[in-house]
């Protein structure tokens, strides 16, 4: 009887998990589209050229495309626990650039500076098309949980040999509010979702942890400055390195 209850509880938790993810991301998409339409209306009242307005129509089109991708991703995530997901070589820099671009247009009124530091121009890892969602989640949190006038994020990409395995190491260092030691592990755990008054950080990061595990990698968080938990965070991801071509 206990096993049956656990199955139903896990199914319920998974449903709420996906529901929260979908509502969160769809809300962001609608907000960007709404802002773009409002700006287009203001521009149309002026004497601006068509090309000045087309930029916002392009942004709306991008968000509609992203909405279609989100629906497909949620469908894929419904099979996540069954590991029914195609893994293949993915370009880290390409997915990272997509994530950075989306984060920046999502916060048009914030000053955001994302610096990518690496000795490499191209690196491939074993992952899926959802890797950009992983990067987006970490970058978006770095922006949301940041009280500084300018959001500073440094992404350091390198290669690492750990336990005789080759990995790509990706570090996201931000100047946000940081994470205290007591929460550094909890934010990646699904049990964190049950806190009704949580700020929402757990939904995305528990998904991130599941995906990274599926990819055969690891993720954890440290202080940006060792021993100073309020001076920003450093999210560290290890993903299996693969040669392409």
Q: Kindly write down the DSSP assignment for every residue of 144-209, as one continuous string.
A: HT--SSEEEEEEEEEEEEETTEEEEEEEEEE-S----GGGTTGGGSGGGGG-TT--SHHHHHHHHH
- pLDDT tens-digit map of 189-218: 754 444 444 444 434 787 788 889 989 999
For the chain, give every domain's residue range.
2-80, 86-240
Prediction pTM value: 0.70
For the chain, give the percent of residues with pLDDT over 90.
36
- Low-confidence spans in the chain with pLDDT less than 50: 4, 7, 82-83, 191-203
86-240 carries CATH number 3.30.565.10: yes
């Amino acid at each position: 009887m206990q096993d049956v209850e656990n199955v139903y509880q896990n199914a319920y938790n998974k449903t709420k998990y996906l529901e929260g993810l979908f509502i969160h991301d769809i809300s962001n998409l609608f907000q960007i589209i709404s802002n773009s339409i409002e700006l287009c209306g203001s521009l149309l009242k002026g004497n601006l050229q068509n090309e000045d307005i087309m930029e916002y129509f392009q942004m709306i089109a991008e968000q509609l495309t992203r909405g279609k991708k989100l629906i497909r991703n949620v469908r894929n995530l419904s099979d996540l626990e069954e590991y029914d997901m195609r893994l293949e070589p993915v370009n880290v820099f390409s997915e990272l650039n997509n994530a950075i671009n989306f984060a920046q247009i999502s916060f048009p009124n914030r000053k955001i500076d994302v610096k990518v530091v690496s000795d490499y121009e191209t690196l491939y890892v074993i992952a899926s098309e959802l890797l950009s969602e992983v990067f987006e989640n970490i970058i978006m949190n770095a922006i949301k949980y940041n009280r500084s006038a300018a959001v500073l994020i440094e992404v350091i990409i390198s290669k690492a040999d750990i336990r005789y395995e080759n990995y790509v190491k990706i570090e996201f260092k931000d100047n946000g509010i940081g994470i205290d030691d007591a929460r550094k592990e909890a934010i990646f755990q699904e049990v964190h979702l049950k806190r009704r008054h949580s700020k929402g950080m757990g939904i995305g990061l528990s998904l991130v942890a599941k995906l990274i595990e599926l990819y055969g990698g690891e993720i954890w968080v440290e202080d940006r400055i060792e021993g100073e938990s309020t001076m920003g965070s450093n999210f560290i991801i290890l993903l299996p390195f693969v040669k392409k071509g």
